[in-house]
Amino acid sequence: MSTLEIGEATPEERLWAGRLMASSEPWVTLGRGEDACRAAALDPDYVTLVARAGGEPLGFARLHPRGAVGSPYLASIAVVPAARSRGVGAALLDAAEKRFAGARWIFLCVSSFNERARSLYERRGYRAAGELPDYVVDGFAEILMVKRLP
């Protein structure tokens, strides 16, 4: 993989992020269709960062600057299948945390069935702070995770 660069999403990349969300877990299991994912990706209240290699988008992270009790909230993160387990998700997490330097905490939710994502977050220093059973769909919980920023 060529050098990874992370920056703000272009309008076209926001649409790409919506398509990636609609075709990926956890959004498939959570029943989020293409229209809902596109609307989320285009929401101007969210910062969207895109990881690119050779100009090609490989992954994105959507963040709300004051989404959880006034702290940054990572609303969604996804990496194209061919680039998974290659450090793209970790690089996006690092970029998200740096984007909000000065904040004390950053929050995210991970679906209880999304063990791979939860493992990544735990390796990156996030810890479970609570569980929201049946929050999005019955039978699954959303696990609220938090990390203290330097």
* Residue 77: exposure state from Cβ atoms within 10 A (0-12, 13-18, ≥19): buried
Please, are residues 148 and 105 in contact by the beta-carbon 8 Å criterion?
Answer: yes
As a whole-number percent, the residues of the chain with pLDDT over 90 amount to 90
Q: In what order do the strands lie in the sheet with 105-111?
A: 4-8, 47-53, 56-68, 71-79, 105-111, 141-148, 127-133
Question: Does pTM top 0.85 for this prediction?
Answer: yes
pLDDT bucket at 4, cuts 50 / 70 / 90: very high
- Alpha helix positions (H), the chain: 11-22, 34-42, 88-99, 115-123
Residue 130 to residues 42, 74, 107, 108, 146: CA-CA distances in angstroms?
29, 16, 11, 11, 9
What are the tens digits of pLDDT across the range 82-101? 999 999 999 999 999 999 98
Chain centre to alpha carbon of residue 116: 13
Residue 1 pLDDT > 70? no
Query: The domain 4-148 belongs to what CATH superfamily?
Result: Gcn5-related N-acetyltransferase (GNAT) (3.40.630.30)
Domain boundaries, the chain: 4-148
Confidence of residue 68 (pLDDT cuts 50, 70, 90): confident
Write a three-state SS string for 2-27.
Answer: CCEEEEECCHHHHHHHHHHHHCCCCC
Helix (H, G, I), strand (E, B) or coil at 43: coil
pLDDT-based confidence at residue 31 (cuts at 50, 70, 90): confident
Beta-carbon contacts of residue 150 (< 8 Å; ≥ 6 apart): none
pLDDT score of 60 more than 80: yes
Longest dimension (CA), the chain: 41
pLDDT over 70, % of the chain: 99
